[in-house]
Amino acid sequence: MGSRKKVLVSGASSGIGRATALRFAEEGWDVCVNARRQALLEELVAEMPLGNHIVCAGDYSDPAVASAVGTAIEDNWGRLDAFVNSAGVSMGADAIESPFEVWRAPFDLMVNGAVYLTRVAVPLMGDGGRVIHITSIHGERTEVGASAYAMAKAALNQYCRALATELAPRGILVNAVAPGFVRTPMSVKDDGTNELDTEWFRVNYVDGQHLPLRRAARPEEIAGVCFFLAGPDSSYITGQVITVDGGLTITF
């Protein structure tokens, strides 16, 4: 197993992170999976082709958890080839009237978690290492109630650009993937309805003109872009935000 490539995937218990972890495992990589729910990570690893996989459950925005992830990788593998940060939370709050702590919770979780795990991952990488953050089209666009979420995604886009400049001398490439609509558990609202199955989505995006491909992405379609960015064919791409949105952001 020593020659197999190694990847850390956060947010691996569901959605894009889960699909990404499976894709890398199916391509012959060893995968370290991180998310809060241990049982779901165990189920995921049981689905993977056999490998020297690692389960590291915990909240990635807790620096102690991030440190434990780094220790597990160092002890088991001794190195890392790629880090895909797919962890994220969907939490809305009024930009003016919500309690400040409530408003900034998604910002703190996503930005702090990304930074903590990046600081753990990069020292384990050599020349050719890859850092990939899943952000969102919300990094450049937004909707009512999503100011902190959008600011967090915009911050991560800029973090990738800044990291790309600092890590280039070490041969480490850093990029972001910004999805649009993706059919994941994050599409399910608090009342149990999936926004992708609503009349609003059908009228605006399936029957309307706002989404040229007229459907949400499958998580595997985002995972494929992540795998490309971790591979040899992306060796001259760094500091970029790759939008994967079915054409959503080219319309008006």
Q: What is the location of CATH 3.40.50.720 in the chain?
A: 6-182+217-246
DSSP 77: T
**3 state SS of 29:** coil
Percent of all residues in the chain with a pLDDT value above 90, rounded to a whole number: 90
pLDDT at 15 over 90: yes
Long-range CB pairs of 100-107 (<8 Å, 24+ gap) are: 103/147, 103/148, 104/148, 105/148, 106/148, 106/149, 106/152, 107/148, 107/149, 107/151, 107/152, 107/155
pLDDT of residue 34: 98
Q: Are 17 and 179 in contact (CB under 8 A)?
A: no
Pairing of strands 82-85, 6-10: parallel
**3 state SS of 57:** strand
DSSP 206: I
pLDDT at 187 over 50: yes
3-state secondary structure 138-178: HHCCCCCCCHHHHHHHHHHHHHHHHHHHHHHHHCCEEEEEE
pLDDT of residue 234: 98
205 is catalytic: no
Token reading at 160: 């990738």
Catalytic residue among 149, 159, 205, 236: 149
pLDDT band at 148 (very low <50, low <70, confident <90, very high): very high
Q: pLDDT of 36-76, one tens digit each? A: 999 999 999 999 999 999 999 999 999 999 999 999 999 99
pLDDT band at 20 (very low <50, low <70, confident <90, very high): very high
pLDDT of residue 1: 45
pLDDT of residue 189: 76
Q: pLDDT of 161-182, one tens digit each? A: 999 999 999 999 999 999 999 9
The secondary element (H helix, E strand) that includes residue 84 is strand 82-85
Q: How far apart are CA 18 and CA 10, in angstroms?
A: 9
- Tell me the pLDDT of the chain averaged across its residues: 95
DSSP 70: H
State which fold the 6-182+217-246 domain adopts.
Rossmann fold (3.40.50)
Average pLDDT over residues 89-112: 94
pLDDT of residue 54: 98
Average pLDDT over residues 87-107: 93
